[in-house]
Structure 1
Amino acid sequence: MVDLVDMAEEFRDFQLQQNINARAQFETESNLDCDDCGEEIPEQRRALKGVTRCITCQTKFEAQQKHFRG
């Protein structure tokens, strides 16, 4: 007989794996310069793939997005 706790854990693991598989995959090259301010994006940040803003501008952008969401 299957234990309900085991079923719940299996379902949770399945959902976690689905979320991991569904996350955004950034395969495009990062910009050398920030789209917003034009400053050079550090090499370590560019290694993340798909980066278009420097840390300062990305932080501001995310704060604005959070503000708009409520």
Structure 2
Amino acid sequence: MSDCVDFANDLVQERLDTALAARKARPVFESYEFCTDCDVSIPLARRLAVTNCTRCTECEQLNEEIGTRYAR
């Protein structure tokens, strides 16, 4: 019985190691180069400062204003 448990533990550890290695290989920031709303180029400084940004500054401000207007 212990052989099955050892095999299962080894398999789980191998999959965890593989998943962690794949995660480390990703870039630090994954921001879009162009705004998803207006297709204007997002400046590199903003992409580096705000990880995972998808909108330019103007569209983000507009989105936040609309969001606060309808917040409950």
Q: Which TM class, normalised by the smaller chain length?
A: 0.5 to 0.7
Q: Considering only aligned residues, what root-mean-square deviation do their CA atoms show, in Å?
A: 1.3
Which letter maps to 1:35? T
Normalised TM-score (structure 2): 0.57
Deviation of 1:28 (Å): 5.0
SS at match of 2:53: coil
Deviation of 1:49 (Å): 1.1
Which letter maps to 1:59? Q
Structure in which a larger fraction of residues adopt helix: 2
User: Any gaps of 5 or more consecutive residues in structure 2?
Assistant: 1-27
Moved over 3 A (4+): none
Which letter maps to 1:38? D
Structure-2 residue corresponding to 1:68: 70
Count of residue correspondences: 44
Deviation of 1:34 (Å): 0.1
Normalised TM-score (structure 1): 0.58
CA distance in structure 2 between the aligned counterparts of 1:28 and 1:63, rounded to whole angstroms: 26
Deviation of 1:53 (Å): 0.0
Which structure has the larger Rg? 2
CA distance in structure 2 between the aligned counterparts of 1:35 and 1:28, rounded to whole angstroms: 17
User: Any gaps of 5 or more consecutive residues in structure 1?
Assistant: 1-26
Deviation of 1:58 (Å): 0.2
Which letter maps to 2:43? P
